[in-house]
Structure 1
């Protein structure tokens, strides 16, 4: 008799006088989790997203679709960005007012080349209000994951209310788990043992989120 058989024998003897459990494993623990915390309308959900994004030190802006190009141009100019990384199907009108040179998301780009780009502008897959989280899934308006991790400045555009959900469970129902999901809550940051916060360690030092509504919604 080996060690495995001895251990399993002890387990069987310890359980010998217990009644059989007829409850299936998946029903043994109640899983009636809340799908969202509280009841909110659309405006309240978007406001909660903005509040939690700001709490994570993201810079939050609001604009209508017609105001977006001018806003993006101003944000890039204020940053002093001479170059901006662009996913393959980012709407061209978004950067129509920007002076920064466009750099395409190319498969062959090296980390060094990406590091020389000063800003990146993307769309998103979803935004989660309760956690202040932006989710990217590698769609053509977002590009490959690496283009949002190497440049030091990321501007992410969120269409409201269509791309805003209240909670993580609601987000998971709408996301494709087979895609390369990136969950972003504020700029990249970490703390050492003294709790000194350092930003920009494994992602952008500055995250700006633009909440864009239709012109008729403003």
Structure 2
């Protein structure tokens, strides 16, 4: 039986060589030493330049658009009408939503709501037209929206299977400038989904194909004020 390239009987495998290097590098480390005994200096810049909050929100909108997301802006009271219009333009009839999405968000949309549930099958999710969620935060410098499966976001799969995702971002308290700032606010133990534009990939000829492993269309609504009160 062949052992594969570079693994003839008696020879050292690549895995063994790598582990051997690790053991040699750790040979003089006391067994009692822990990673926290040597803190890593984190004195690097946490953002590129200084900006007002309004400029940071503007940068987020610009970078989201660069990633081919459709960006909309509204005050909190106008959110229900805007969501209703965007869903109507899409022709959406069945919309999946997290269990704790504020009821007022879709009060003006004549659609059938499908609540997130472990019982939902992939086929049922694929039969929905759109998904509407909130987010954990958004990063201006990278044009990224981050979800952490919070009550207004639901399970990760409801934002990956439907072809159209409407994501609401509160500009007052959910927009940060940079990735370092985002990491300080996110809980690493939560299931984090980082979204920079619609799902897309390229084949060997660099032909861009959208919707392969997530929604083909991402619409981000930047809301001033607190829409949780709707």
2:221 to 206, 210, 215: 210
Deviation at 1:92, TM superposition (A): 0.5
Match of 1:44 in 2: 55
1:197 to 208, 215, 218: 208
> Does 2:157 align with 1:150?
no
> Does 2:107 align with 1:101?
no
Q: Distance in 2 between matches of 1:26 and 1:169?
A: 20
Deviation at 1:161, TM superposition (A): 2.4
Write the deviation string for residues 13-62 of structure 1: whole angstroms up to 9, x where unpaired: xxxxxxxxxxxx958x9753220001000000000000000000000000
Structure 1 unaligned residues grouped into runs of 5+ = 13-24
Q: Distance in 2 between matches of 1:164 and 1:59?
A: 17
1:90 to 90, 101, 104: 101
Structure 2 unaligned residues grouped into runs of 5+ = 1-10, 26-36
RMSD: 2.2
Match of 1:181 in 2: 192
Q: Distance in 2 between matches of 1:211 and 1:124?
A: 11
How high is the TM-score relative to the length of structure 2? 0.81
Moved over 6 A (4+): none
Contact 2:148–2:193 (8 Å) recurs in 1: yes
Contact 2:160–2:213 (8 Å) recurs in 1: yes
Q: Distance in 2 between matches of 1:38 and 1:57?
A: 25
Q: Distance in 2 between matches of 1:159 and 1:32?
A: 29
